[in-house]
Structure 1
């Protein structure tokens, strides 16, 4: 309960607007994460993109031509956005995902153990972390799920939250809770409008 109260405070703080710009909790370098998540750079042609090295986020494939990410990743990185939630920090972007493993989506559930994947903007290495969904907060029309015991660093925003038991992806990483070793994500059940519009399948419970 204390975690959820602190999370509510965190969601009202300016840091939420900044995304995963800091380190919170513990995450590990994990090259197996390259099968779960893609690194996305600012959408400028070379050599212009050389001058913005380190400005990156994460995304994951859901169809051969579409990936999910955080809206605060897609917009500043100039990605081709196919759909964006009007309130929540999530977007669907165009990507060539042919040959990549596609994520199967499902609703997130409290108490479930989850795995988090993304790329560090500090050193561009793939990262992973583990935690438990502590609960959900409804604010400004969005579910913000709180994962305790997990960690994330700048660049992991937009990466997937995967149910450890089913292997299904249940949300998109958006932020961290400073000093609490907790990560905030948008649950699949709160952006089904985007998924329905683009005919991306998901499972309900």
Structure 2
């Protein structure tokens, strides 16, 4: 499938921003952790992360670059980092894939109450790459979804109906977010990095970490 390119005007870096109705999550099957930013109120002041092993979590690079985490690795082209974390006793889900028009849920921490986990519901729409973006190069494939997010959820997880981790939340489209080739406006959609796209890199980082 030929990927489409897009411009991005606004991302999760805008405080107070959300793009839809979110609900509070009261279950125990999905674990999302809070990441407190090292510079107060920058990028909303908090972010989210997802456990992938008992000692490692995955998050957005723009979160890991400014919080107090011990970074294990930054992805070379995507807004993704793997950090150290004590995840003993937490739920860890396998990597899965999102099919076109499949139902997905976004999970992340609440900006105003970092102890609260929020979720949004929507569908997978399409893959694309961004032009002129600080955190994601043209070599990074991003996925567009219409499940809502807000500031504080960046670095959180996206799950399919099998509760497989299919993506990591990285950004939100602005009102003028559009496809370069067709000028089609996508609007305030959510953007994730597909875990399937970075699966090999994740496995390499885990292998290097546990071999030392």
TM-score range, shorter chain: 0.7 to 0.9
Give the CA deviation at 1:176: 1.3
| Aligned pair partner of 1:103 in 71, 93, 111 | 93
User: Aligned residue for 1:87?
Assistant: 77
Conserved? CA contact 2:12–2:170, under 8 Å: no
SS state at 1:31 partner: coil
CA distance in 2, matches of 1:17, 1:38: 17
Conserved? CA contact 1:20–1:156, under 8 Å: no
More helix by share: 1
- CA deviations on 1:108-142 (whole Å, 9 max, x unpaired) are 33221101100121333321001000010034111
Give the CA deviation at 1:36: 2.5
SS state at 2:196 partner: helix
Matches within 5 A, 1:4-43: 8-10=6-8, 13=9, 15-16=10-11, 18=13, 22-32=17-27, 35-42=30-37
* TM-score, scaled to structure 1: 0.79
Q: CA RMSD in A?
A: 2.7
User: Aligned residue for 1:203?
Assistant: none
Give the CA deviation at 1:17: 7.8
Give the CA deviation at 1:146: 0.6
Give the CA deviation at 1:56: 1.1
Give the CA deviation at 1:178: 3.0
Matches within 5 A, 1:50-69: 55-69=45-59
User: Aligned residue for 1:198?
Assistant: 205
CA distance in 1, matches of 2:41, 2:12: 20
Query: Are 2:140 and 1:133 equivalent residues in the alignment?
Result: no
CA distance in 2, matches of 1:60, 1:19: 22
Query: Are 2:93 and 1:113 equivalent residues in the alignment?
Result: no
Conserved? CA contact 1:173–1:184, under 8 Å: yes
CA distance in 2, matches of 1:89, 1:81: 13
Q: 1:136 to 1:20 in 2, by over 3 A?
A: farther
SS state at 2:83 partner: strand
SS state at 2:47 partner: strand
CA distance in 1, matches of 2:174, 2:52: 30
Give the CA deviation at 1:72: 0.7
Q: 1:99 to 1:161 in 2, by over 3 A?
A: same
Q: 1:64 to 1:119 in 2, by over 3 A?
A: same
Aligned pair count reads: 185
SS state at 1:145 partner: strand
Give the CA deviation at 1:71: 0.5
* TM-score, scaled to structure 2: 0.77
SS state at 2:6 partner: helix
